[in-house]
Amino acid sequence: MQLHNHQLEGIHYLSSPNFDSRPGKEISLIVIHAISLPVGNYDTELICDLFTNQLDIKKDPSFSGLSELKVSSHLLITRTGQLIQFVPFNLRAWHAGVSNYNGRENCNDFSIGIELEGCDFDKFTEEQYSRLNECLQLLIHEYSIPRFNIVGHSDIAPGRKTDPGPYFDWNKISV
């Protein structure tokens, strides 16, 4: 796996409109998320639709609150370990929302967001952990991110977010 112009080479790239420029801050944090639409349903296409503002909210009653939502992530790792990139790493993806890490507000400004296809009620797959570790090693090296700056969404938005959830096994992170 290699980077070229802040994008992973040889993977599917699906451009999200939900990004902007970073405010001159170095990338120093990686935030791990979990997403499924609806919760517990693993339909990668629906996640891609959400991140590209094409989600048909009529497909499920739980989508009604998502009609005006503008979110993205840098990467999505599917249940089979497939990687999809939505935003180049040098740009600010809209993944963290209201957030704080060690007294620094607005984590989107200085973080990379990695979504795992999953939820609070299921274990993640070995393929996901393998691919995640591969990505983490590359990103840590490329952007000089300290290993202890790999956190969950729940760590930067406690009380508001629970992902990656209780079934995410932090012991399987091997960087």
| Residue 28 belongs to domain spanning | 3-172
The three state secondary structure string of 148-161 is: HHEEEHHHHCCCCC
What CATH number should be reported for the domain holding residue 122? 3.40.80.10
Q: What is the pTM of this model?
A: 0.97
Q: How many domains does the chain have?
A: 1
Closest by CA to 6, choosing from 93, 132, 133, is: 93
Q: What angle do CA 126, 121, 55 make, to 5 degrees?
A: 90
Q: What is the pLDDT of residue 148?
A: 95
**Regions of the chain with pLDDT less than 50:** none
| Percent above pLDDT 70 for the chain | 100
- The predicted-structure confidence for 109-139, as pLDDT tens digits, reads as follows 999 999 999 999 999 999 999 999 999 999 9
Q: Give catalytic residue positions.
A: 115
Taken in order 96, 98, 101, 107, the sign of the CA dihedral is: positive
- Phi and psi at 172, nearest 5°, equal -90, 0
User: Residue 149 CA to chain centroid, in angstroms?
Assistant: 15
